[in-house]
Amino acid sequence: LGGDSLSVTPLAAGALRVSQDPGEMWVMEGDEVALGCQVLVAEPWDLLRLEWVKDVGRGVLCAIRLRPTTPMAPTPCTPHAPRLHLAWYPPWATLSLRQARGDDAGHYLCRVTLEI
């Protein structure tokens, strides 16, 4: 996106392991971008909260609660962000960005919380 890179950060913690793919990518304006977030949980779980954040500290782009075996087809994140869609096909959550623009460049983080 205009010479800027789009990067993601991997996380790992105890019984919950989250990894992102790709680690870094270059995108042309107008392209569609797909960022993957793999969620592996060592023990049975009922509910996860998954959030995609751009440039940590600037707020949540997309947030959803997920169940371990209930897939979710691509769904718009919010009515105010129709270019962002989130899908869940266990164990992968995918954030899709349609028609990338220059101001979409930044660091994207998949943040997962196990709810109990």
pLDDT digits (tens, 9 = 90+) for 24-78: 888 899 999 999 999 998 888 889 999 999 987 778 889 999 988 899 999 998 8
Query: For residue 3, is it within any domain?
Result: no
Q: For residue 65, give every residue at least 6 positions away whose Cβ sits within 8 Å of its Cβ, in sequence order, or none.
A: 47, 48, 49, 50, 115
Measured CA to CA, the distance from residue 13 to residue 69 in angstroms comes to 22
pLDDT digits (tens, 9 = 90+) for 100-115: 998 888 899 999 998 8
Query: For residue 7, is it within any domain?
Result: no
Query: What pTM, to 2 d.p., does this model score?
Result: 0.80
Tell me how many domains the chain contains. Answer: 1
Query: For residue 107, is it within any domain?
Result: yes
